[in-house]
Chain A
Amino acid sequence: QRQLRESGSGLLKPSQTLSLTCAVSGGSITNDGFSWGWIRQPPGKGLEWVGHVSHRGTTYYNPSLRGRLIISLDGSTNQFSLSLRSVTAADTAIYYCARLTPELFGEDYFFYGMDLWGQGTTVTVSS
């Protein structure tokens, strides 16, 4: 059974780099055709899509984070990662990893239906 589990830096100071990893068990993240994403939730607030990466390594980022964000796949360890540099207090949130379904509709590619989620990891940015 597929499972996702986040791990990484929990407490950061402003300007540092946030590094998170999502370990995927029960299948190959580069061979089974799914895409892999990150979603975050600030304390007491709603959900925000951070970005995702296709099984071939193509990345899609939230423009609000572009320039600071890198999402990557590592097929050898069956993990995908998030790196967010120059963090501020606004990056404080629970970060979730999730699986998305990619599908071609006509000539257009879409990513939808996050059907597997990790348990979430809390990231706090404070001086």
Chain B
Amino acid sequence: EIVMTQSPLSLPVTPGEPASISCRASQSLLHRSGYNFLDWYLQKPGQSPQLLFSLGSNRASGVPDRFSGSGSGTDFTLRISRVEAEDVGVYYCMQTLQTPLTFGGGTKVEIK
């Protein structure tokens, strides 16, 4: 089973400032096709999770371009260029390279 580790656990942010979340996999998520099998999700308070990125950096429909996903192999980063109040919630990475699909433990983003 691939273990996903996120950091930090908690991230206080100031509106308008940038923020980044790290996700590390216990083995490479890079397939010989050239794709990294890594998704990012945001679970806003009281809501179901929503997809932000698939395949490492493919932005989902409706996701603002202040969000970006990057990385390859075992190390990935989600960046928010300028945090807005609506971005609060818990962010999860998830590997989709092999079953069981596994999530990171989550990073809680809150406004300072």
Contacts and interface: CB of A to CB of B under 8 A. Distances in A.
Interface of A: 39, 46-49, 60-64, 96, 101, 105-106, 108, 110-115, 117-120
A122 to B, nearest CB: 13
Contact of A114 (B41, B55, B90): B41
A60 B96 CA distance: 12
B101 interface: yes
23 contacts: A39-B49, A47-B106, A48-B103, A49-B100, A49-B101, A49-B102, A49-B103, A64-B100, A105-B31, A106-B33, A108-B33, A110-B31, A110-B37, A110-B96, A110-B97, A112-B37, A113-B39, A113-B55, A113-B96, A114-B39, A115-B60, A117-B48, A120-B48
B81 to A, nearest CB: 23
Q: Is the interface of A mostly helix, strand, loop or mixed?
A: strand
B49 A117 contact: yes
Contacts, number: 71
A63 B100 contact: yes
